[in-house]
Chains A and B, each alone.
Chain A
Amino acid sequence: QEEAQAIDQELFTEYKFSVDQLMELAGLSCATAIAKAYPPSSFTTSQPAVLVVCGPGNNGGDGLVCARHLKMFGYQPTVYYPKRSSKPLFEGLTTQCNKMDIPFLPEFPAEAEFIDELYGLVVDAIFGFSFTGAVREPFGSILSTLERVTVPIASIDIPSGWDVEKGKADGLQPDMLISLTAPKKAAMHFTGRYHFLGGRFVPPALQEKYSLNLPEYPGTDCVLQLT
């Protein structure tokens, strides 16, 4: 976890990347990975409906970007974003979604069955690699519901609620994990079908410094399928 935070810090302070830039690339990776694993034609719902659940921090921001790109790729995303950051970046991302006619739910579906009926996929953009400590409401209840959902869940970077290094055996078991920048230790506990790597923005010098040993991305793709 510390390493991931250190790399992030360096990207911002030494390499002068802006949060906006990296978040856009991260969100785009997520949408691209989803498009590869769950193409719109594979949905059994009448429309390729996707529920994107966004947490209060950067992972949620990644989710907002992902939702926007999913819309452009022909999906019908709906966002649930209960604890909104007031930072301009997030307000901007929310507006961009609004202007793309992406609905924001006023409340979270009460039962897992409702989610199963309405959506063919759930994107878990609740907590990322900075997560520590206890899960605060409303996310505790949200995660409980998601644990009972039967449609596939795609988690951004870390399955929400998992310890960033040790995982969580009785927690969320997503079908897809999109590791950003590099897989985190928790990824070793991932048992879903699809593990993608995204966030193709780490400069070679930084990769070397932290011995990331990242595999080659295919061509100009912004995602790499690991499993």
Chain B
Amino acid sequence: PVTLSLLSPQAFPLRSLRRRQPTLLVACGPAQNGAVGLVCARHLRSFDYEPTIFYPKRSPDPLHRDFTTQCEKMDIPFLSYLPTEVQLINDAYNAVVDAVLGAEGTQGTEGTEPCAAILTTLRHVRIPIVSLDVPSGWLPGPVGGSGDISPDVLVSLAAPKEVARRFRGRRHFLAGRFVPEELRRKFGLSPPEYPGSDCVVAL
């Protein structure tokens, strides 16, 4: 999770945001993908963005609880509910970071609350969505479902997942520089060159 957060700003440099305040909504699911979202939010805050987190079902994992504390102590607000009126979200935030289900979602857990409600909202927002690893709700297979969300940016973690083949958004980044060479070879991954000391690369 440490290296993963240094990515969103590449896609949306501060000066390009439409609203006066660089606000972002970070929707965090109950498991690992959500935890990555929490770390991402904290780094976004230190990069002078104004993230707000929606984290309705909190993981009991002590590490994830600590991530939550770190965010709270950075004065990152946590929403107590997500407005069902999508226009409110469109108006308040420049983009949404989707850290809801990630790769766990491909096991078909998307039907459970509150993730289902978040996904419904994500399907209707008009602001860009940045999905972490796997767009939440996307199931494996060559063809997507009609209810699939359409993220603008996908950040693949470690290596692109199978569903990334279906991604048609604007930018696809890989955050995988921490994968040791030996492991890459073992899985036949051939990543592109990371520029300089960057930890993400645009694919």
Interface residue ranges, A against B (CB under 8 Å): 14-18, 21, 24-25, 28, 31-32, 35-36, 69, 72-73, 96, 99-101, 200-201, 203-205, 219-220, 222
Contact = CB atoms under 8 A, between A and B. Distances in A.
A220 B44 CA distance: 9
Contacts of A15: 69-70, 73
Contact of B197 (A18, A36, A96): A36
Nearest to A23: B2
Interface residues of B, number: 25
Given A31-B197, A73-B197, A219-B47, A203 B73 contact: yes
A121 to B, nearest CB: 15
Interface of B: 2-3, 6, 9-10, 13, 43, 46-47, 63, 65-66, 69-70, 73-75, 177-178, 180-182, 194, 196-197
Contacts of B180: 96, 99-100
Contacts of B74: 203-205
A189 B40 CA distance: 37
A-B pairs, top 10 by smallest CB distance, nearest first, are: A16-B66, A16-B69, A35-B197, A220-B9, A32-B197, A24-B2, A203-B74, A15-B73, A100-B180, A220-B47
B193 to A, nearest CB: 10
B88 to A, nearest CB: 27
8 contacts: A16-B65, A16-B70, A18-B66, A21-B2, A203-B46, A203-B74, A204-B74, A220-B43
